[in-house]
Amino acid sequence: MRNVHRWKFSGSAMTRRKPLLVLLAIVAAMFAALQLIRPERTNPPVDPSMRIDAHVTVPPDVAAILDRSCRDCHTHETRWPWYSHVAPPSLLLSRDVREGRDELNLSEWGEYDEETSDGQLEEICTQVREGNMPLLPYTWMHPASKLSAADVTRLCDWTERARAEVAARAQADEEGPN
Ligand code: HEC
């Protein structure tokens, strides 16, 4: 009689926990199903002659800022982090990289004509000055990518100089050797 009573008691405790267990199982199944979506994580080959540093002077300290804060989304040399293997962060990151490369690709700078190069350089300064770049969720995961006020000033000084370089080269091309 005592045993039966105890059995009944634990049985009702199980029943009370059941909805929670079912919910957990559903969440786990959804998480597992999400992992089946494998976003693209490609780094297309880079032709050094197409990279930005083959077209305008990029001093080492500027290269270091671009490498630390922009490279993962604006080049073909993305360092795919561990969370790029786990959905849903992987889905957000791969989208940002795809859109980032579409907007500005430092690995394919050679494709930009004079006007586009000038516009991209100007935009780099604008975006960092306004604090739009690097993109927000990225800086949470990569605190070192946050730009200091000095970094922003350095980038803008550099874009100014690089734009002058682009303009000078265009003018030289126009005057031509003949
Ligand atoms: C996490 C990815 C990520 C990082 C890191 C990142 N960007 Fe972006 N960037 C994007 C995405 C996505 C877009 C396009 C959508 C948008 O503008 O929000 C973009 C757009 C831009 C544009 C606009 C291009 C145009 O012509 O309108 C510029 C300029 C830019 N980024 C510069 C930078 C610079 C400079 C850095 C580093 C300081 C940087 N980004 C870091 C993802 C990123």
Spans of all domains in the chain: 1-34, 48-175
Residue nearest to ligand 1 atom 18, measured at CA? 135
| HSE-CB for 82 with a 13 A CA cutoff | 2
pLDDT band, residue 173 (cuts 50/70/90) = confident
Any ligand 1 atom below 6 A from CB of 58: no
Token pair of 151 as six digits: 């970094």
Predicted local distance difference test score (pLDDT) of residue 9: 54
% of the chain residues with pLDDT over 70? 90
Regarding the beta carbon of 153 and ligand 1, being less than 6 Å apart is answered no
The answer to whether 156 touches 129, Cβ cutoff 8 Å, is yes
Using the CB atoms, write b or e for 133-157: b if 16+ within 10 Å. bbbeebeeeeeebebeeebbebbbe
What pLDDT digit, counting tens, does each position of 10-52 carry?
555 556 778 999 999 999 999 999 999 888 889 999 999 999 9
Cα 133 to ligand 1 centre (Å): 6
Ligand 1 centre to CA of 23 (Å) is: 39
The pLDDT value given to residue 96: 95
Classify 55 as helix, strand or coil. coil
Question: What integer pLDDT is reported at residue 176 of this predicted model?
Answer: 79
Which pTM was predicted? 0.87
Handedness of CA 108, 112, 145, 95 (dihedral sign): negative
Q: Is the pLDDT of residue 8 over 80?
A: no
* Residues near 171 by beta carbon (within 8 Å), at least 6 away in sequence: none
Q: Name residues whose C-beta falls within 8 Å of residue 91's C-beta, 6 or more positions apart in sequence.
A: 37, 39
